[in-house]
Amino acid sequence: MKTDIPSILIAPCGMNCGICKAYLRSRNNCTGCNVESPCKPKHCLSCSIKLCAVRTAGARFCYDCKNFPCERLRHLDKRYRTRYFMSMIENLHDISRHGLDRFMESENIRRACPRCGNPVCVHNGVCYQCEKTAVVGLK
């Protein structure tokens, strides 16, 4: 059965936590950046981008910041573009231009496993539902 990614899983930095290995794995899984939980990996609990967005009054996403994109976000974006062919800055531009609902519609199509329709992990290309490797999300 296909599961759509809920919009609460889009982090302030533009990361889709619904396609993150830490969220998708069955053991010790993360709840996503926007959900407070002690089960999160230590690096997520101390994420300077997330903490910065939390401190900025009313900022849901980094694009609301006057310093967007900051050096931290550019560094993270470069790593993800290089390793995983995904741009968080591009995600944030899409959300800013077209809205979160339209971005989620696109993500739920673009990140879906061609076999079962569930999200495919951005970090290793594996669908954790049907346990098959699939190439998705490349533009």
pLDDT band at 139 (very low <50, low <70, confident <90, very high): very low
Q: What is the DSSP string of the chain?
A: ---PPPGGGB-TTS-BGGG-HHHHSSSS----TTS--TTS-HHHHT-HHHHHHHHSTT-SSGGGSTTPSPHHHHHHHHHHHHHHS--HHHHHHHHHHH-HHHHHHHHHHHTB-TTT-SBBPTTT-EETTTTEE------
Quick: pLDDT tens for 47-101.
Answer: 888 888 655 667 889 998 888 999 999 999 999 999 999 999 999 999 999 999 9
80/123 Cα distance (integer angstroms): 9
**How do strand 132-133 and strand 126-127 relate by DSSP bridges?**
antiparallel
Which pLDDT does position 19 carry in this prediction? 95
Which pLDDT does position 50 carry in this prediction? 81
Whether residue 1 is predicted with pLDDT greater than 60 in this model: the reply is: no
Give the residue-averaged pLDDT of 27-54. Answer: 79
Share of the chain above pLDDT 90, in %: 51
Mean pLDDT of all residues in the chain?
Answer: 86
Which pLDDT does position 135 carry in this prediction? 59
Whether residue 129 is predicted with pLDDT greater than 60 in this model: the reply is: yes
Which pLDDT does position 41 carry in this prediction? 74
